[in-house]
Amino acid sequence: MVKRKHATKAGKSRSSNKRKSTGQQSNSNNLSLAISQHLFHSHDTLKRLVREPLSSLMTIMVIAIALALPACLYLLVSNAEVLTDRWQTTHDISVYVDGAYPVDNVNAIQQSLSLRKDVQLVRVITSEQALQEMTQQSQMEMISTAIGENPLPHALIVSPSNSLINADSDQSLNELLAALKKLPGVNEVQLDAQWVMKLRSIIHLLNRTVGLLGLLLALGVLLVVSNTIRLHVQQRENEIQVKKLIGASNGFIRRPFLYLGFWYGILGAAVASILVMILLAFLSGPAARLAELYASDFNLQGLGTGGNLSLLFLGTGLALTGAFLAAEHTLKNIEVT
């Protein structure tokens, strides 16, 4: 009896191991079959693109232009931001006081401004000091002698605090400017970096415009790919009906069209990246020569590795989404007859 029990247990163990090995082998076969099917569909769809070079090239170029245009505008805006950040090295405010105003009163204004938390430093340049600096130049000495009376105003050079400069909003800086204009004897208040602030506002507007344009062109890529895939599905309607008759699932039928969208997207994004690099190379020379005229070492910055990869992922994702939507909608309308 004991021997029979051991034999029974051994038989059960062998049959269990056999079932496990059979299941593992079945899973391995299913995985290899799925991989081979994906490889076949990817190669087959790529061959279809090659067999129709003109229509494929037109679709790829439309996608490339739709992706390259916002990418180029983004590069121009981002390079402008880098350039304005370099220019924002000084935020000094020049306060011009009437030259007839007593110097002691100007010094008193300096002391009161130095006590403000939003002011880091205040320097005084009297009208006499300004005239002396002018007369040190040989070309201006005769002019200053001919004028006689000193026409130059006193000047207060106000340096705002770092917290005021680095603030996200310009409200505090505008409040300081308004306070300086109300000082006694002040004729004019001029922010040295005011034109840079205006340029920054323009760049902020351009950033939003580029974002909106990018969304519209992304929608355009979706529509182009969707329409192209819809035409491919309609061209293969008879083939799809036969596949449905023999029991093929919608996922299996949809797969080649998804790969078609994948190739459209990744090739279009790759061409877009090349177009951006060509434009950058075309503009780099003139931009460098312009920077040399202003004694600057500024160079145009490209998308870089991260930007190019993002462009590839974006183009592929949009094309796959458009292909899926078009294939899913069109396959539902194809009935087996």
CATH number of domain containing 125: 3.30.70.3040
Burial of 146 (0-12, 13-18, 19+ CB in 10 A): exposed
The tens digit of pLDDT for each residue in 62-88 reads: 999 999 999 999 998 888 887 776 665
Across 71-85, 216-230, 247-261, the highest mean pLDDT is recorded for 216-230
In a domain, 288, yes or no: yes
- B/e letters for 149-169, b = 16+ CB within 10 Å, e = fewer, are ebebbbbbebbbbeebbeeee
Helix (H) or strand (E) holding 337: none
Query: Looking at per-residue confidence, does 105 or 21 come out higher?
Result: 105
Q: In what order do the strands lie in the sheet with 186-191?
A: 119-125, 154-160, 93-97, 186-191
In a domain, 255, yes or no: yes
Query: Looking at per-residue confidence, does 19 or 258 come out higher?
Result: 258
Contact 264, 45 (CB under 8 A): no
If pLDDT is split at 50, 70 and 90, which confidence band does 262 have?
very high
Q: Of 56, 92, 75, 279, whose CA–CA distance to 196 is shortest?
A: 92
pLDDT average, residue stretch 279-302: 80
The DSSP code for 122 is: E
Q: Answer whether residue 268 shows pLDDT above 90.
A: yes
Distances (CA, A) of 201 to 6, 80, 169: 87, 12, 11
pLDDT average, residue stretch 198-226: 89
* Residue 71 shares a structural domain with residue 212: yes
**Residue bearing tokens 């299941």:** 23
Return the beta strands (E) in the chain as ranges.
93-97, 119-125, 154-160, 186-191
* Residue 117 shares a structural domain with residue 247: no
In a domain, 37, yes or no: no
> Can you give the residue range of the structural domain that contains 230?
42-86+199-332
Final residue before a domain boundary, out of 190, 215, 248: 190
The DSSP code for 6 is: H
Helix (H) or strand (E) holding 107: helix 103-114
The tens digit of pLDDT for each residue in 110-158 reads: 898 888 888 888 998 888 887 777 776 545 555 556 566 777 888 889 8
Q: What is the pLDDT of residue 3?
A: 47
φ, ψ at 301 (rounded to 5°):
-100, 135
* Residue 172 shares a structural domain with residue 239: no
For the entire predicted model, the pTM comes to: 0.65
Largest CA distance in the chain: 135
pLDDT average, residue stretch 179-196: 81
If pLDDT is split at 50, 70 and 90, which confidence band does 333 have?
confident
- B/e letters for 174-204, b = 16+ CB within 10 Å, e = fewer, are eebbeebeeeebbeebebebeebbebbeebe
Q: How far is CA 215 from the centre of its chain?
A: 12
Calpha distance 131→144 (Å, rounded): 8
User: How many structural domains does the chain have?
Assistant: 2
Query: Looking at per-residue confidence, does 219 or 287 come out higher?
Result: 219
CB count in 10 Å sphere of residue 327: 24
Q: What is the pLDDT of residue 2?
A: 44
Q: 122 forms bridges with which residues in the sheet? A: 158
pLDDT average, residue stretch 45-50: 80
Tokens linked to 218: 């992304």
In a domain, 122, yes or no: yes
Contact 214, 70 (CB under 8 A): yes
In a domain, 80, yes or no: yes
Q: Answer whether residue 177 shows pLDDT above 50.
A: yes
If pLDDT is split at 50, 70 and 90, which confidence band does 19 have?
low
Q: Answer whether residue 107 shows pLDDT above 80.
A: yes
* Residue 112 shares a structural domain with residue 214: no
